[in-house]
Amino acid sequence: MAQIICKNLIVGYEGQVVRDNINFVVNKGDYLCIVGENGSGKTTLMKTLLSLQKPMGGEIIFGDGLNANEIGYLPQQSTIKRDFPATNFEIVLSGNLGHSGFFYSKDDKELALKAMKRLHVDQFKDRCFRELSGGQQQRVLLARALCATQKVLLLDEPVSGLDPKVTAEMYELVKELNQNDNITIIMISHDLNDALKYATHILHVGSVVFFGTKNDYLNSELGKQFVS
């Protein structure tokens, strides 16, 4: 059963339509990459899926037991305050806010520590977030997103600004979460060639909107224009 269905979705902000006629389905265990040129509406679409802004038309249907507040989110690096004066454990623990309110339970703390171990950042538990490298900070923030969900992760250009070695490591971690933990991945990527190594499905947004399997995309006229 589908976890997310978008029908004739129209997204935008401040009364301006950014992209319309968006139709796609995300099933449990999918690895969907959202690609397209800068300004094509990728981040606007993701914020709409997260209910951070309302759709301007069409509908988003959540199914297979998924609620809108059960989606983990890793935003673009440019929107993250990197010098935040908190410990890494406090950062990860805050991922429980959506289902715990203002007080953290013992289970919340155990979940946060488990997520840090899963992302190999538990050794930085008591260090300040701002002391870490960019790649280590991304792992901490991904651990935070894991606290919010064991179902669906939305990642907005998670490797932007990282060096090639750290980028490869991040892609591998996300692949493991998808394949080993059966977490559905929806990722915005500016690097189409790297994204295609891992994706099961592609949503290309632009003047033409394409949705299909990776192979369908590679064999489409649109895919042939963008894949080197």
Task: State pLDDT tens for residues 16-35.
Answer: 999 999 999 999 999 999 99
How many angstroms separate the CA atoms of 6 and 16, rounded?
19
Which residue in 146, 60, 138, 78 sits closest to 108, CA to CA? Answer: 146
Contact 146, 108 (CB under 8 A): no
How many angstroms separate the CA atoms of 52 and 45, rounded?
10
How many angstroms separate the CA atoms of 159 and 151, rounded?
21
What's residue 103's pLDDT?
75
Contact 13, 7 (CB under 8 A): no
What's residue 82's pLDDT?
66
How many angstroms separate the CA atoms of 143 and 115, rounded?
5
Q: In a 3-state reduction of DSSP, which class is residue 139?
A: helix
> Which residues neighbour 27 within 8 Å (Cβ) at sequence distance 6 or greater?
1, 2, 3, 64, 184
For the chain, state the CA radius of gyration.
17
Contact 57, 136 (CB under 8 A): no
How many angstroms separate the CA atoms of 115 and 146, rounded?
6
What's residue 78's pLDDT?
57
What's residue 39's pLDDT?
83
What's residue 191's pLDDT?
78
Backbone phi and psi for residue 155, each to the nearest 5 degrees, phi listed first:
-125, 120
Alpha helices (runs of H) in 119-163, residue ranges in sequence order: 134-148
Domains of the chain: 1-66+185-228 (3.40.50.300)
What's residue 34's pLDDT?
95
Q: pTM here?
A: 0.92
What's residue 223's pLDDT?
85
Contact 36, 92 (CB under 8 A): no
CA atoms within 13 A on the CB side of 26: 29
What's residue 228's pLDDT?
65
How many angstroms separate the CA atoms of 155 and 172, rounded?
14
Q: In a 3-state reduction of DSSP, which class is residue 84?
A: coil
pLDDT under 70: residue ranges of the chain: 77-84, 98-102, 228
Q: Which residues pair with 26 in a beta bridge?
A: 4
What's residue 196's pLDDT?
82
What's residue 187's pLDDT?
96
> Which residues neighbour 171 within 8 Å (Cβ) at sequence distance 6 or greater?
159, 194, 197, 198
